[in-house]
Amino acid sequence: MRSNYLVFGSPIIEDEEINSVISTLKSKWIGTGPKVNQFEKMFSEYIGTKHAVAVSSCTAGLHLSVIALGIKPGDEIIVPAMTFAATANAVIHANAIPVLTDVDKWNMTIDFDDIERKITEKTKAIIPVHFAGRAVDIKKLNSLAEIYNLKIIHDTAHAVETEYEGKKIGCYNDLSSYSFYVTKNITSIEGGMVTTNNEELANKIKINALHGMSQDAWKRFSDNGYKHYQVIFPGFKYNMTDVQAAIGIEQLKKIDRFAKRRKEVWDHYRNELKDMPLFLPPNEQPGTKHALHLFTIMLDIDNVKLTRDQLMKNLHEMNIGTGVHYISLHLHEYYKNTFNFKENDFPNSKFISDRTLSIPFSANLTDDDVEDVIYALKSCLS
Ligand SMILES: Cc1ncc(COP(=O)(O)O)c(C=O)c1O
């Protein structure tokens, strides 16, 4: 058994990130400033959009996106049930209503037939989640958006590298909100980025992320002297700091190296785990690029003697950390009670919730770490 604990997702932080943080701290400009500006430029070039606005988290980016699109109280927004709470909470924070839909049992991305069943006159937008980094079918999404005149906000928390027909997801539709939380493919500790090709939306998001103060308010204390600003909207405190951006910039430079390592681990896991009582995540669909953010396995509970939770406990006792992505939103107390959901309202999301666990998966894993995970799984399931 390994001697130290292996967490399921850990970042790679090297001298470049550390030195960049130190030099930013020494520059004394540690709030929102030139580093944030540089990170935004690099990110918009990487994604291929005209604009990228740095924010404090993907959750903040989703909330700002809902508001920027002019969603009104009582409007409905379609959200997959199989997601992290932030996707639905961002809708609720804007006083709109998240309408849950089921997902595909194997791909874990939004079920288009269920979307159509859930659309009403009040539906204004869809927030598809590119689950674990797997691209949602943009053609199907666009056709629904066109027929029903819906806005699209992509939840790209898992999907920095995700592509559809040769273009990054952030290039499509209205807005996309990315996450740089510690476990993500690249991190700024906490942080997010909203991408768009729409200048008006980008400006709204930038302004509303900093109290609703007129543009470039972050420069108000610059060496060009104090500048007056106007508050044009009762905005939020959702800005990213230069210390975070200093880390994000160095991480973005290394994104291809990190992706290459995750692909090696992905292929090795798929090969070594294929004969076990597990459902493995399918490879990417043709015409797409998977960001390989999570390696979510599902325990075939009908053919083994233990539950998913018992497997997680046994792995934990062998010093292997795991996560659950996710327990479907409709099974959580708040959504269940507020929207009166029943367990089987979203059968595929329920199926996944009962079986899924995420095993350690990051560019930080050594070959020995990967072998330890495989060995532990084999021992627990033999
Ligand atoms: C699908 C999904 N959406 C949104 C978020 C929120 O990201 P953040 O922590 O940057 O707010 C997460 C976070 O893990 C997520 O997994």
- Work out the percent of the chain whose per-residue pLDDT is above 70: 98
Tokens of 193: 């980025």
Res 225: pLDDT: 78
- Both 220 and 278 in one domain: the answer is no
Res 327: pLDDT: 98
- Residue count (the chain): 382
Q: What is the mean pLDDT of residues 44-67?
A: 98
- Residue-wise pLDDT tens digits, 90-127: 999 999 999 999 999 999 999 999 999 999 999 999 99
Spatial contact of 187 and 255, defined as CB atoms under 8 Å apart: no
| Ligand 1 atom closest to Cα of residue 191 | 10
The mean-pLDDT minimum among 175-184, 207-216, 313-322 falls in 207-216
3-class SS at 231? strand
Q: Does residue 6 form part of some domain?
A: no
The amino acid present at 188, given as its one-letter code, is: S
- Both 247 and 268 in one domain: the answer is no
- Both 191 and 291 in one domain: the answer is no
Beta bridge partners of 168: 163
Residue of 83, 84, 169 to mutate, ligand 1, most atoms within 8 A of C-beta: 84
The mean-pLDDT minimum among 143-152, 156-165, 220-229 falls in 220-229
pLDDT surpassing 80 at residue 243: yes
| Ligand 1 atom closest to Cα of residue 60 | 11
Residues near 348 by beta carbon (within 8 Å), at least 6 away in sequence: 82, 102, 103, 104, 105, 111
- Both 203 and 63 in one domain: the answer is yes
Residue numbers of the domain that contains 244: 15-253
Q: Does residue 7 form part of some domain?
A: no
Res 229: pLDDT: 86
CATH number at residue 375: 3.90.1150.10
Q: If 0-12 CB within 10 Å is exposed, 13-18 middle and 19+ buried, where does residue 150 land?
A: buried
- Both 154 and 262 in one domain: the answer is no
- Both 315 and 245 in one domain: the answer is no
What is the total count of domains within the chain?
2
Residues near 314 by beta carbon (within 8 Å), at least 6 away in sequence: 306, 380
Query: Would you place residue 224 in the very low, low, confident or very high pLDDT band (cuts 50, 70, 90)?
Result: confident
Rounded to the nearest angstrom, the distance between the alpha carbon of 187 and the centre of ligand 1 is: 12
- Both 146 and 284 in one domain: the answer is no
Which of 253, 273, 305 is the endpoint of a domain? 253
| The overall pTM is greater than 0.85 | yes
Q: Does residue 4 form part of some domain?
A: no
- Both 202 and 337 in one domain: the answer is no
Res 214: pLDDT: 84
Rounded to the nearest angstrom, the distance between the alpha carbon of 1 and the centre of ligand 1 is: 32
Query: Would you place residue 227 in the very low, low, confident or very high pLDDT band (cuts 50, 70, 90)?
Result: confident
Q: What is the mean pLDDT of residues 337-343?
A: 98
Which of 190, 220, 253 is the endpoint of a domain? 253
- Both 242 and 267 in one domain: the answer is no
Choosing from 124, 151, 184, 206, the catalytic residue is: 184
- Ligand 1 interacting residues, C-beta cut-off 6 A: 57-59, 83-84, 86-87, 129, 155, 157-158, 179, 181, 192
Does residue 184 carry a catalytic annotation? yes
CATH number at residue 32: 3.40.640.10
- Residue-wise pLDDT tens digits, 154-205: 999 999 999 999 999 999 999 999 999 999 999 999 999 999 999 999 999 9
Distance between CA atoms of residues 223 and 363, nearest Å: 41
Res 221: pLDDT: 65
Rounded to the nearest angstrom, the distance between the alpha carbon of 160 and the centre of ligand 1 is: 12
Q: Does residue 239 form part of some domain?
A: yes
pLDDT surpassing 70 at residue 325: yes
- Both 271 and 210 in one domain: the answer is no
Res 22: pLDDT: 98
- Both 192 and 162 in one domain: the answer is yes
Give the angle 154-138-196 at the CA atoms, nearest 5°: 40
Residue of 63, 162, 179, 188 to mutate, ligand 1, most atoms within 8 A of C-beta: 179
Res 218: pLDDT: 65
pLDDT surpassing 80 at residue 36: yes
